[in-house]
Amino acid sequence: MAAAEDRAEAPGIVIDEMEVDGQRLRYAVKGGPAERPPLLMFNGIGANLELGFPFLNALGETRAIIFDVPGVGGSPLPRLPYRPRTLARWAKGLCERLGHQAVDVSGVSWGGGMAQQFAFQYPRACRRLVLAATAPGWTMVPGKPDVLSKMASIRRYTDRGYMRSIAAEIYGGDFRADPTHIERHAAGMRPQSQKGYLMQLAAMAGWTSLPWLWSLRQPTLVMAGTDDPLVPVANARLLHRMIPKARLHLVDNGHLFLVTRAEESAATVEAFLKAADPMEAGA
């Protein structure tokens, strides 16, 4: 189990550890009414689970589960490199050990690929799908080369000064106008390992969801920022066209709108998850 001081870092959120299929995972759970399945969240590349707390705290009536990918945050490095299907299996095992046979699934940026993989790999375990600031893998419409080159380095997670210097350029939106967003984001970061970051990059090498997006049957909310230097909004439009039951929601913001506009984003997501007809919710 996690140390006691590491088990309640935010009101209503409990942090702990669990072994799943031989891999130890550090995870956090936000409680709430049991009227719907909890929301399983896949974070962005290099992002420890604390960086998702602003969004979790903004959720009103939705239980949530988030975990550190092996090699990131408090989850130890895996014995071997992994692929998206392996991470999806670990995530499903974690949910089952927490007592949930079915979940709603969300993913932001890199984690959006993992969310797509989970929905495809375990269709009966995924009720609804939320994809934020993400793309269909290597077949994506790329961001600017100089922005992508900065993302390829772990330095933004190990050097807070460097993060502050590049945040506006790589994340866009609110980070351009208000430096306090950069400070709050940097404050939530935990030291990362170079090997864990490289494993995340390698996991997605050659991966694409385009051949099977048409087969996804979950109602899907596709969210994107209109000022996203990393994942241009064209990717969201592509996901929207390819997924049969998808609804597109554009935000006048950058890559990390789930963080800088947490309350607004959480309200949109919860309306989608709660709606009897999710294709009409918030339309």
Write the CB contacts of 187 (distance below 8 Å, at least 6 apart in sequence): none
DSSP-assigned beta bridge partners for residue 131: 107, 222
Q: Report the distance separating Cα 39 and Cα 31, nearest Å.
A: 11
Q: Is 109 a catalytic residue?
A: yes
Per-residue burial over 224-262, b = 16 or more CB atoms within 10 Å of its CB, e = otherwise: bbebbbbbbbebbebbbebbeebbbbebebbbbbbbbbb
Q: Whole-angstrom Cα distance, residue 65 to residue 127?
A: 15
DSSP element (H, E) containing 247: strand 246-251
CA-CA distance, 278 to 272, in Å (whole number)?
Answer: 5
- Residue of 97, 98, 25, 114 whose CA lies nearest to 63: 98
Q: Are 189 and 263 in contact (CB under 8 A)?
A: no
CA-CA distances (angstroms) from residue 283 to 103, 219, 250, 279?
Answer: 23, 14, 11, 8
Pairing of strands 64-67, 23-30: antiparallel
Q: Could you give the 3-state DSSP secondary structure of residue 189? A: coil
Of 75, 109, 209, 265, the active-site residue reads: 109
Which residues are tagged catalytic? 109
